[in-house]
Amino acid sequence: VERAGHRRLRPAGVRGRVLARIPQHHRPAARGGKGDERTGDARHAARQLQHELTRQANHDALTGLPNRMLLLRRAAEVIDGIRDTRRRAAILFMDVDRLKEVNDTVGHEVGDGLLVQVANRIAHATRPSDTVARIGGDEFVVLCDGDIDTHRALEVAERIRHALTGRAMIHGIDVEVMP
């Protein structure tokens, strides 16, 4: 109950009345009024929080890539889009061999660094219309959408293979990456 700047508070287990004075700057704006900038700030903060929670739910925390759930939604959209047309799509699957060996011999920090590096290499080797996702521990998928045929899909796969081949320096440790 609110009355003239006072709000009745009744914490759990407390009997009787407890009145607290609510300073003017903490009171909600009157209905129909302009409100104050704190209300706008609170709405902005709530929108930012909602955006961040959505991003966290749809992206891998380590690599920042789309996760399995976002990939499945995008794949469903692509399939719906190509069902009645002559457009095609391709899905490329890859995993990082011997990641467990890297984790066991030089540590998970290096293994995580390797995954981040692999994610970046794959993302840079694909087309802007492609979706690169990390769907599990060491598993990555590329969803190739748009105007793609077998030849172009093989070109994308070859670019990824080439990008993944070579050495990577991770936390001062030289790791050889082989597709």
What type of residue sits at position 170?
I
Give the residues across from 173 on adjacent strands.
Answer: 170
| The one catalytic residue among 112, 138, 145, 174 | 138
59 Cβ partners below 8 Å, 6+ apart? 65, 66, 67, 70
| Alpha carbon 122 to chain centroid, angstroms | 16
Q: Is 41 a catalytic residue?
A: no
Nearest to 66 by CA among 56, 53, 76, 80: 56
| Alpha carbon 16 to chain centroid, angstroms | 49
164 Cβ partners below 8 Å, 6+ apart? 94, 118, 121, 122, 125, 177, 178, 179
Residues with a known catalytic role: 138
